[in-house]
Protein backbone atom coordinates (compact mmCIF):
# COMPACT_ATOMS: atom_id res chain seq x y z
CA UNK A 1 0.00 0.00 0.00
CA UNK A 2 2.78 2.41 0.97
CA UNK A 3 4.71 1.67 -2.24
CA UNK A 4 1.60 2.29 -4.37
CA UNK A 5 0.95 5.59 -2.59
CA UNK A 6 4.55 6.69 -2.92
CA UNK A 7 4.56 5.77 -6.60
CA UNK A 8 1.37 7.76 -7.14
CA UNK A 9 2.83 10.82 -5.38
CA UNK A 10 6.01 10.62 -7.46
CA UNK A 11 3.87 10.36 -10.59
CA UNK A 12 1.85 13.45 -9.66
CA UNK A 13 5.01 15.41 -8.91
CA UNK A 14 6.47 14.35 -12.23
CA UNK A 15 3.37 15.58 -14.03
CA UNK A 16 3.57 18.88 -12.12
CA UNK A 17 7.23 19.37 -12.95
CA UNK A 18 6.58 18.45 -16.58
CA UNK A 19 3.82 21.05 -16.78
CA UNK A 20 6.12 23.64 -15.21
CA UNK A 21 8.89 22.80 -17.64
CA UNK A 22 6.52 23.14 -20.60
CA UNK A 23 5.34 26.60 -19.60
CA UNK A 24 6.88 29.53 -21.42
CA UNK A 25 9.15 31.97 -19.63
CA UNK A 26 7.22 34.91 -18.22
CA UNK A 27 8.57 38.20 -16.89
CA UNK A 28 6.38 40.74 -15.15
CA UNK A 29 7.30 44.32 -14.35
CA UNK A 30 6.18 45.82 -11.03
CA UNK A 31 5.94 49.61 -10.69
CA UNK A 32 7.01 50.97 -7.28
CA UNK A 33 8.37 54.25 -5.93
CA UNK A 34 11.04 55.26 -3.48
CA UNK A 35 13.62 52.59 -2.68
CA UNK A 36 13.54 49.15 -1.10
CA UNK A 37 12.16 49.44 2.43
CA UNK A 38 9.78 47.71 4.85
CA UNK A 39 6.88 48.93 2.68
CA UNK A 40 8.11 46.79 -0.24
CA UNK A 41 9.48 43.72 1.53
CA UNK A 42 6.45 41.57 0.68
CA UNK A 43 7.05 42.28 -2.99
CA UNK A 44 10.72 41.39 -2.62
CA UNK A 45 9.68 38.07 -1.07
CA UNK A 46 6.97 37.52 -3.67
CA UNK A 47 9.47 38.00 -6.47
CA UNK A 48 12.00 35.71 -4.82
CA UNK A 49 9.41 32.99 -4.18
CA UNK A 50 7.93 32.78 -7.68
CA UNK A 51 11.37 32.72 -9.27
CA UNK A 52 12.59 30.01 -6.92
CA UNK A 53 9.50 27.82 -7.36
CA UNK A 54 9.60 28.05 -11.17
CA UNK A 55 13.36 27.72 -11.59
CA UNK A 56 13.49 31.29 -12.84
CA UNK A 57 10.90 30.78 -15.57
CA UNK A 58 8.47 33.22 -13.95
CA UNK A 59 10.14 36.45 -12.87
CA UNK A 60 8.71 39.58 -11.28
CA UNK A 61 11.14 42.45 -11.73
CA UNK A 62 10.68 45.32 -9.27
CA UNK A 63 11.22 48.84 -10.60
CA UNK A 64 11.87 51.40 -7.85
CA UNK A 65 12.15 55.17 -7.98
CA UNK A 66 8.98 55.55 -10.07
CA UNK A 67 10.98 54.27 -13.03
CA UNK A 68 7.87 52.99 -14.80
CA UNK A 69 5.24 55.44 -13.57
CA UNK A 70 4.62 58.08 -10.93
CA UNK A 71 2.86 56.87 -7.76
CA UNK A 72 -0.37 58.72 -8.51
CA UNK A 73 -0.40 57.33 -12.06
CA UNK A 74 0.25 53.64 -11.36
CA UNK A 75 -3.44 52.72 -11.45
CA UNK A 76 -4.02 54.49 -14.76
CA UNK A 77 -0.92 53.12 -16.42
CA UNK A 78 -1.35 49.50 -15.31
CA UNK A 79 -4.92 49.62 -16.63
CA UNK A 80 -3.42 50.10 -20.11
CA UNK A 81 -1.20 47.04 -19.64
CA UNK A 82 2.06 49.01 -19.68
CA UNK A 83 3.24 46.75 -16.84
CA UNK A 84 1.77 43.81 -15.00
CA UNK A 85 1.98 44.68 -11.28
CA UNK A 86 1.95 47.85 -9.20
CA UNK A 87 1.53 49.36 -5.76
CA UNK A 88 -0.61 52.42 -5.21
CA UNK A 89 -2.32 54.09 -2.26
CA UNK A 90 -6.07 54.51 -2.29
CA UNK A 91 -5.83 58.04 -0.89
CA UNK A 92 -3.79 59.21 -3.89
CA UNK A 93 -7.01 59.13 -5.94
CA UNK A 94 -10.07 58.21 -3.80
CA UNK A 95 -12.42 59.04 -6.67
CA UNK A 96 -10.87 56.19 -8.69
CA UNK A 97 -11.17 53.57 -5.94
CA UNK A 98 -13.93 54.74 -3.58
CA UNK A 99 -14.69 51.33 -2.06
CA UNK A 100 -11.09 50.92 -0.87
CA UNK A 101 -11.30 54.11 1.16
CA UNK A 102 -13.24 52.28 3.88
CA UNK A 103 -9.84 50.96 4.92
CA UNK A 104 -8.57 54.52 5.35
CA UNK A 105 -11.27 55.70 7.73
CA UNK A 106 -9.73 57.15 10.89
CA UNK A 107 -9.44 55.26 14.15
CA UNK A 108 -10.63 51.86 12.98
CA UNK A 109 -10.26 49.21 15.73
CA UNK A 110 -7.22 47.59 14.12
CA UNK A 111 -4.28 47.25 16.48
CA UNK A 112 -1.78 45.01 14.72
CA UNK A 113 -0.60 44.03 11.25
CA UNK A 114 -2.12 40.55 11.38
CA UNK A 115 -5.57 42.04 11.97
CA UNK A 116 -4.97 44.60 9.22
CA UNK A 117 -4.20 41.78 6.79
CA UNK A 118 -7.40 39.92 7.67
CA UNK A 119 -9.46 43.06 7.25
CA UNK A 120 -7.78 44.05 3.98
CA UNK A 121 -8.27 40.61 2.43
CA UNK A 122 -11.92 40.51 3.49
CA UNK A 123 -12.58 43.90 1.88
CA UNK A 124 -10.62 43.00 -1.27
CA UNK A 125 -12.82 39.91 -1.71
CA UNK A 126 -16.09 41.89 -1.52
CA UNK A 127 -17.97 41.93 -4.88
CA UNK A 128 -18.39 45.72 -4.84
CA UNK A 129 -14.65 46.20 -4.41
CA UNK A 130 -13.83 43.74 -7.16
CA UNK A 131 -16.27 45.54 -9.46
CA UNK A 132 -14.74 48.89 -8.50
CA UNK A 133 -11.22 47.72 -9.41
CA UNK A 134 -12.35 45.92 -12.58
CA UNK A 135 -12.97 49.38 -14.06
CA UNK A 136 -9.18 49.71 -14.14
CA UNK A 137 -8.54 46.21 -15.48
CA UNK A 138 -6.80 45.11 -12.28
CA UNK A 139 -7.17 42.37 -9.69
CA UNK A 140 -6.23 42.99 -6.05
CA UNK A 141 -3.45 40.57 -5.08
CA UNK A 142 -2.53 41.63 -1.55
CA UNK A 143 -2.27 44.65 0.71
CA UNK A 144 0.65 46.51 2.21
CA UNK A 145 -0.33 46.39 5.90
CA UNK A 146 0.87 49.36 7.87
CA UNK A 147 0.57 50.40 11.51
CA UNK A 148 -1.09 53.59 12.68
CA UNK A 149 0.42 56.82 11.41
CA UNK A 150 1.91 59.49 13.63
CA UNK A 151 3.40 62.90 12.97
CA UNK A 152 6.94 64.20 12.87
CA UNK A 153 6.91 67.98 12.82
CA UNK A 154 8.95 71.14 13.06
CA UNK A 155 8.57 74.15 15.33
CA UNK A 156 6.54 74.21 18.52
CA UNK A 157 5.25 70.81 19.58
CA UNK A 158 1.44 70.39 19.71
CA UNK A 159 0.89 69.57 23.38
CA UNK A 160 -2.91 69.57 22.97
CA UNK A 161 -5.37 69.19 20.11
CA UNK A 162 -5.89 72.95 19.77
CA UNK A 163 -2.23 73.34 18.85
CA UNK A 164 -2.94 71.67 15.50
CA UNK A 165 -5.34 74.47 14.56
CA UNK A 166 -4.07 76.06 11.33
CA UNK A 167 -1.08 73.70 11.07
CA UNK A 168 -0.35 72.49 7.53
CA UNK A 169 0.17 68.74 7.70
CA UNK A 170 0.94 66.02 5.20
CA UNK A 171 -2.02 63.71 5.87
CA UNK A 172 -3.82 61.54 3.36
CA UNK A 173 -7.25 59.91 3.24
CA UNK A 174 -9.07 59.49 6.52
CA UNK A 175 -6.04 60.73 8.43
CA UNK A 176 -6.33 64.07 6.65
CA UNK A 177 -10.09 64.25 7.22
CA UNK A 178 -9.63 63.50 10.94
CA UNK A 179 -6.98 66.18 11.27
CA UNK A 180 -9.15 68.74 9.48
CA UNK A 181 -11.81 68.17 12.17
CA UNK A 182 -9.40 69.61 14.75
CA UNK A 183 -8.41 72.56 12.58
CA UNK A 184 -5.30 71.25 10.80
CA UNK A 185 -4.87 71.92 7.08
CA UNK A 186 -4.11 68.61 5.34
CA UNK A 187 -2.15 68.36 2.10
CA UNK A 188 -1.70 65.29 -0.06
CA UNK A 189 1.93 65.37 -1.10
CA UNK A 190 3.25 61.91 -1.96
CA UNK A 191 5.71 60.06 0.24
CA UNK A 192 8.66 60.95 -1.97
CA UNK A 193 7.75 64.66 -1.79
CA UNK A 194 7.37 64.76 2.00
CA UNK A 195 10.97 65.53 2.96
CA UNK A 196 11.19 68.49 0.61
CA UNK A 197 7.81 69.77 1.78
CA UNK A 198 8.70 69.80 5.48
CA UNK A 199 12.28 71.00 4.93
CA UNK A 200 11.00 73.96 2.89
CA UNK A 201 8.29 74.72 5.44
CA UNK A 202 5.47 74.00 3.00
CA UNK A 203 4.08 71.74 5.72
CA UNK A 204 4.83 71.79 9.44
CA UNK A 205 4.25 68.08 10.06
CA UNK A 206 4.24 64.82 8.13
CA UNK A 207 2.20 61.72 8.99
CA UNK A 208 3.78 58.37 8.20
CA UNK A 209 4.15 54.90 9.59
CA UNK A 210 7.57 54.47 11.29
CA UNK A 211 9.30 52.82 8.32
CA UNK A 212 8.42 55.75 6.05
CA UNK A 213 9.71 58.36 8.50
CA UNK A 214 13.02 56.51 8.20
CA UNK A 215 12.91 55.80 4.48
CA UNK A 216 11.89 59.32 3.47
CA UNK A 217 14.20 60.94 6.05
CA UNK A 218 11.66 63.07 7.91
CA UNK A 219 13.50 62.01 11.08
CA UNK A 220 16.39 64.14 9.87
CA UNK A 221 14.43 67.42 10.00
CA UNK A 222 11.87 66.89 12.76
CA UNK A 223 11.70 68.52 16.19
CA UNK A 224 8.88 66.42 17.68
CA UNK A 225 6.98 63.16 17.22
CA UNK A 226 3.46 62.18 18.34
CA UNK A 227 3.74 58.72 19.87
CA UNK A 228 0.06 57.85 20.22
CA UNK A 229 -2.17 60.21 18.26
CA UNK A 230 -2.89 57.27 15.92
CA UNK A 231 -5.30 59.04 13.55
CA UNK A 232 -5.40 56.16 11.09
CA UNK A 233 -3.38 54.70 8.26
CA UNK A 234 -3.53 54.45 4.48
CA UNK A 235 -4.28 51.44 2.32
CA UNK A 236 -1.80 50.63 -0.41
CA UNK A 237 -2.69 47.49 -2.35
CA UNK A 238 -0.63 45.44 -4.75
CA UNK A 239 -2.56 44.90 -7.97
CA UNK A 240 -2.02 42.90 -11.13
CA UNK A 241 -3.27 43.68 -14.60
CA UNK A 242 -6.27 41.43 -15.20
CA UNK A 243 -5.29 40.48 -18.74
CA UNK A 244 -1.78 39.56 -17.60
CA UNK A 245 -3.20 37.45 -14.79
CA UNK A 246 -5.60 35.71 -17.15
CA UNK A 247 -2.76 34.94 -19.59
CA UNK A 248 -0.51 33.53 -16.85
CA UNK A 249 -0.06 29.76 -17.19
CA UNK A 250 -2.14 27.92 -14.61
CA UNK A 251 0.88 26.49 -12.81
CA UNK A 252 2.45 29.93 -12.48
CA UNK A 253 -0.81 31.37 -11.22
CA UNK A 254 -0.88 28.72 -8.51
CA UNK A 255 2.68 29.65 -7.52
CA UNK A 256 1.68 33.32 -7.37
CA UNK A 257 -1.29 32.52 -5.11
CA UNK A 258 0.91 30.36 -2.87
CA UNK A 259 3.43 33.19 -2.63
CA UNK A 260 0.98 35.62 -1.01
CA UNK A 261 0.85 34.12 2.53
CA UNK A 262 4.62 33.59 2.42
CA UNK A 263 5.11 37.25 1.47
CA UNK A 264 2.78 38.44 4.22
CA UNK A 265 4.60 36.38 6.84
CA UNK A 266 7.95 37.78 5.73
CA UNK A 267 6.58 41.33 5.72
CA UNK A 268 5.21 41.13 9.27
CA UNK A 269 8.40 39.63 10.68
CA UNK A 270 10.53 42.21 8.90
CA UNK A 271 8.37 45.15 10.02
CA UNK A 272 9.00 44.28 13.66
CA UNK A 273 12.65 45.18 13.05
CA UNK A 274 11.72 48.73 11.99
CA UNK A 275 11.25 49.80 15.59
CA UNK A 276 14.80 48.73 16.44
CA UNK A 277 15.94 51.55 14.15
CA UNK A 278 13.13 54.06 14.51
CA UNK A 279 13.21 54.88 18.23
CA UNK A 280 17.02 55.11 18.39
CA UNK A 281 16.84 57.48 15.40
CA UNK A 282 14.46 59.74 17.34
CA UNK A 283 16.72 59.70 20.39
CA UNK A 284 19.88 60.28 18.36
CA UNK A 285 18.38 63.44 16.87
CA UNK A 286 16.84 64.53 20.20
CA UNK A 287 13.34 64.56 18.73
CA UNK A 288 10.83 65.29 21.48
CA UNK A 289 8.18 62.62 21.97
CA UNK A 290 4.63 63.88 22.55
CA UNK A 291 2.29 61.44 24.29
CA UNK A 292 -1.34 62.45 24.71
CA UNK A 293 -3.46 61.61 27.75
CA UNK A 294 -6.43 59.27 27.50
CA UNK A 295 -8.71 62.26 28.03
CA UNK A 296 -7.13 64.15 25.13
CA UNK A 297 -7.38 61.10 22.85
CA UNK A 298 -11.04 60.66 23.80
CA UNK A 299 -11.64 64.28 22.75
CA UNK A 300 -9.92 63.57 19.43
CA UNK A 301 -12.10 60.54 18.80
CA UNK A 302 -15.27 62.42 19.67
CA UNK A 303 -14.36 65.33 17.41
CA UNK A 304 -12.98 63.41 14.46
CA UNK A 305 -14.00 59.77 14.19
CA UNK A 306 -17.77 59.65 13.94
CA UNK A 307 -18.18 62.82 11.84
CA UNK A 308 -15.70 61.47 9.28
CA UNK A 309 -17.33 58.04 9.27
CA UNK A 310 -20.79 59.58 8.81
CA UNK A 311 -19.62 61.82 5.97
CA UNK A 312 -17.99 58.85 4.26
CA UNK A 313 -21.18 56.80 4.53
CA UNK A 314 -23.18 59.63 2.97
CA UNK A 315 -20.66 59.92 0.15
CA UNK A 316 -20.83 56.19 -0.56
CA UNK A 317 -24.63 56.32 -0.54
CA UNK A 318 -24.60 59.16 -3.06
CA UNK A 319 -22.40 57.02 -5.32
CA UNK A 320 -24.68 54.01 -5.04
CA UNK A 321 -22.03 52.01 -3.17
CA UNK A 322 -22.63 49.73 -0.15
CA UNK A 323 -20.72 51.84 2.35
CA UNK A 324 -22.46 50.56 5.47
CA UNK A 325 -21.95 46.98 4.32
CA UNK A 326 -18.24 47.58 3.79
CA UNK A 327 -17.80 49.34 7.13
CA UNK A 328 -19.68 46.55 8.91
CA UNK A 329 -17.39 44.03 7.20
CA UNK A 330 -14.33 45.89 8.45
CA UNK A 331 -15.61 46.10 12.02
CA UNK A 332 -16.75 42.47 12.12
CA UNK A 333 -13.51 41.15 10.68
CA UNK A 334 -11.41 43.30 13.01
CA UNK A 335 -13.23 41.92 16.04
CA UNK A 336 -13.02 38.28 14.94
CA UNK A 337 -10.14 35.94 15.77
Phi and psi torsions of 211, nearest 5°:
-60, -35
Q: Which residues contact 14 (CB under 8 A, 6 or more apart)?
A: none
- The runs of H, that is alpha helices, within the chain are 2-22, 41-53, 74-79, 113-124, 127-134, 173-180, 194-199, 210-215, 242-247, 250-271, 274-284, 294-318, 323-335
pLDDT given at position 17: 40
pLDDT given at position 12: 39
pLDDT given at position 22: 56
Rg (C-alpha) for the chain, rounded Å, is 22
pLDDT given at position 24: 81
Q: Are the CB atoms for 254 and 232 separated by under 8 Å?
A: no
**SS3 for 279?**
helix
pLDDT given at position 146: 92
Count of C-beta atoms within a 10 Å radius of residue 137: 18
pLDDT given at position 337: 72
What is the DSSP pairing of strand 185-187 with strand 238-241?
unpaired
pLDDT in tens, the chain (337 residues): 434 433 443 343 333 444 444 578 999 999 999 999 999 999 999 999 999 999 999 999 999 999 999 999 999 999 999 999 999 999 999 999 999 999 999 999 998 999 999 999 999 999 999 999 999 999 999 999 999 899 999 999 999 999 999 999 999 888 999 999 999 999 988 899 999 999 999 999 999 999 999 999 999 999 999 999 999 999 999 999 999 999 999 999 999 999 999 999 999 999 999 999 999 999 999 999 999 999 999 999 999 999 999 999 999 999 999 999 999 999 999 998 7
Q: Are the CB atoms for 205 and 169 separated by under 8 Å?
A: yes
Amino acid sequence: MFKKTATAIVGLLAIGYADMASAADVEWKASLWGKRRAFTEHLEKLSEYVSEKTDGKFKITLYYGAALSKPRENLDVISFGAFEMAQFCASYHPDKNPTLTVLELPMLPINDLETQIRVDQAVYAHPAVKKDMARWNVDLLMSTPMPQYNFIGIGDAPEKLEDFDGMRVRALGGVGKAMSEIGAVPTTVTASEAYTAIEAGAVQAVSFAPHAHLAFKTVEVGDWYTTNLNPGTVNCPVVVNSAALEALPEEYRKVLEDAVPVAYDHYVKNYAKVYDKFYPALDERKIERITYSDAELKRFHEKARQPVWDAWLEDMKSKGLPGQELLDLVLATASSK
